[in-house]
Amino acid sequence: MARISYVNGQYVDHRNASVHIEDRGFQFADSVYEVFAVQNSCLIDGDAHLDRLDRSLNELSITQPMSRAALKLVIREVLRRNHITYGALYLQVTRGQADRDFPFPSDITPTLVLTVKRLKPFDYNAVSQGIKVISIDDIRWKRCDIKTVSLLAGAMGKTQAKQAGAYEAWQVDGEGCITEGTSSNAWIVTQDGLLVTRSLSTDILGGITRKTLLAIAEKENLKFEERSFTLAEAKSAREAFSSSSTVFIRPIIQIDDAKIGDGKPGPFCLNVLKLYGQYMENCS
Ligand code: PMP
């Protein structure tokens, strides 16, 4: 079955889906995106992702490509045409196509692209396996709160992680504190059983999974704090994990050469993972 993508009003064979070489997304990374998880045909936290998309567009003064209601119809149609029950939906909006020149051009039509990828359903046993992370300097720009496609620092970090036999790289700021993973938010559980994640600022992306997990923690009366933590604190934490929309929650069993806890996924993280799985099951 042919994979179908959406490009500027057309549903096209994925192999022929393309935008112009003078698109500002290609020339300047002048472009924002969202990745949604699809579980049992349901878009997980769809409105929260669309809210974040609106925010990214507003921060960069990129025109909304269409109304939210119209965008939801396009999303549904792309999922329908690809018969996606479990997978990831990728949506990108660029400022549009114009002769290459740095200042934002006026009167430009944004480019809208949607693609989908089929993925395995959320499987507690698979995702509850622990992962290793490495630490790297955070070399990114100062607006990490905007979800732009300028992802080269993340790609470099993830490559370094892969070469070191790790799954993710946690980025460290000038003060020695963890900002976030290259494509995930970072969490620790202290020796006192307190859940900690960095507070929202321009230093990190406001993850949708992060937001949902904090709401779950609140509901379940789990003690949590939004604050910075150092790499040293992370290495001596009782537990650690990462969160993102399509990779969900991953227990971390090692940071650099330091084993976390007893080197196995811990009960706090496994409980959160179970609760998040239930949350996704109840999505409508
Ligand atoms: N931080 C960064 C840098 C990311 O790229 C991602 C993944 N989009 C996240 C955090 C997690 O965000 P979300 O939970 O919305 O997928």
Give residue limits of the domains in the chain: 4-118, 124-283
Distance 1 CA to ligand 1 centre (A): 30
180 lines ligand 1 (CB under 6 A): yes
Atom 9 in ligand 1: residue holding the nearest Cα: 184
User: What per-residue confidence (pLDDT) applies to 10?
Assistant: 98
208 lines ligand 1 (CB under 6 A): yes
Which among 213, 244, 247 is the best mutation to test ligand 1's pocket, defined by most ligand atoms within 8 Å of the CB?
244
User: What per-residue confidence (pLDDT) applies to 252?
Assistant: 98
4-118, CATH topology level = D-amino Acid Aminotransferase; Chain A, domain 1 (3.30.470)
Mean of the pLDDT values across residues 193-204? 98
pLDDT range class, residue 283, cuts 50, 70, 90: confident
Q: Which token pair is 246?
A: 């399509």
pLDDT range class, residue 1, cuts 50, 70, 90: confident
Q: What is the mean pLDDT of the chain?
A: 97
Query: What's the number of CA atoms in the CB half-sphere (13 Å) around residue 256?
Result: 11
Mean of the pLDDT values across residues 163-192? 98
**CA 174 – CA 176 distance, rounded (Å):** 6
Atom 12 in ligand 1: residue holding the nearest Cα: 207
pLDDT range class, residue 208, cuts 50, 70, 90: very high
Distance 99 CA to ligand 1 centre (A): 32
Q: Provide the residue count of the chain.
A: 284
Per-residue pLDDT reduced to its tens digit, 215-267: 999 999 999 999 999 999 999 999 999 999 999 999 999 999 999 999 999 99
148 lines ligand 1 (CB under 6 A): no
244 lines ligand 1 (CB under 6 A): yes
pLDDT range class, residue 49, cuts 50, 70, 90: very high
Per-residue pLDDT reduced to its tens digit, 119-175: 999 999 999 999 999 999 999 999 999 999 999 999 999 999 999 999 999 999 999
Long-range contacts of 39-44 (CB under 8 A, 24+ apart): 39/86, 39/121, 39/122, 39/280, 39/281, 39/283, 40/85, 40/86, 40/121, 40/281, 40/283, 41/79, 41/84, 41/85, 42/280, 42/283, 42/284, 43/75, 43/79, 43/89, 43/283, 44/245, 44/280, 44/283
Q: Which atom of ligand 1 is nearest to the CA of 185?
A: 10
User: What per-residue confidence (pLDDT) applies to 134?
Assistant: 98
245 lines ligand 1 (CB under 6 A): yes
Share of the chain above pLDDT 90, in %: 99
> Helix 208-219 crosses helix 267-281 at what angle (to 10 degrees)?
100
Is 219 a known active-site residue? Answer: no
- Which class is domain 124-283? alpha beta
